[in-house]
Amino acid sequence: MVKIYEFDALSNKDYKYIKEHLQTSGIIIYPTETSYAVGGNALDNTAVQKIYALKGRNFDKPLPVLVKDLKMVVNIAELNRREEDLISKFWPGPLTIIFKLKKKIFSENYLFTGGLDSIGARISPHPFPERLFEEIDFPLVSTSANSSGRESFSDFNELNKIFLSDPAVASGVNILAINAGELTGGSSTIIEIGEKNKGIEIIREGENNIKKRLMCSMKNKE
């Protein structure tokens, strides 16, 4: 079952209800600075299992997350000086950085890692997750709201018509969907810092101008 909320009409009471929904392994569809995402408590394996099933995604493929702030990253991942420098320049924004998980956080404990020893995270500047993080204290899964391998959605009407109206989706789990109209579209750029804090590997180039800014950042550090 899908319950739709209009983003512009969300009240404080609604945000508290969304928080309770997430705390009980609930799933949400929500806007980011790029496209619509499927979300849940990344540290709740029951919620994460639902997201994998909803998308038809293989469990060996990790799920990226949104975080509230640097402190939330530090709780689960190791940061080096170069990563902190990039965070100060590019967050909030459509740049996902892959961090190494802390040694005490074993990848097998959390399904969203896909069995890897790393985590992809970013801070979104969209006002919905910004406001939601005033209520929640856990990383939020932020994988595109679509079937695995399909195009992402930036228009809620298209998302509702094609993805949310699919009987396999609509009847599978209870979903709270946030309608914020048409978003800018595209995807975040994904990067990883090379060994010994040298070089930036671009895993996926998003539909934004971050690559050029990253190259300038690298050059300035030489």
Closest CA to 136 of 6, 27, 20, 4: 20
CB contact at 8 A, 36 and 138: no
**Could you report the per-residue pLDDT of 56-97, keeping only the tens digit for each?**
999 999 999 999 999 999 999 999 888 999 999 999 999 999
The predicted structure's pLDDT at residue 186: 87
User: Residue 126 belongs to what domain range?
Assistant: 2-221
Closest CA to 190 of 60, 86, 102, 114: 86
**Could you report the per-residue pLDDT of 3-17, keeping only the tens digit for each?**
999 999 999 999 999
Q: Which two tokens stand for residue 17?
A: 């209800």
SS3 (DSSP) at 142: coil
**Residue 188, Cα to own-chain centre: how many angstroms?**
10
The number of distinct structural domains making up the chain is 1
Q: What CATH number does residue 213 fall under?
A: 3.90.870.10
The predicted structure's pLDDT at residue 45: 96
**Could you report the per-residue pLDDT of 141-194, keeping only the tens digit for each?**
999 999 988 889 999 999 999 999 888 776 768 999 999 999 999 889 999 987
CA end-to-end span of the chain, whole Å? Answer: 53
C-alpha span between 56 and 141 (Å, rounded): 15
Q: Which two tokens stand for residue 10?
A: 């969300």
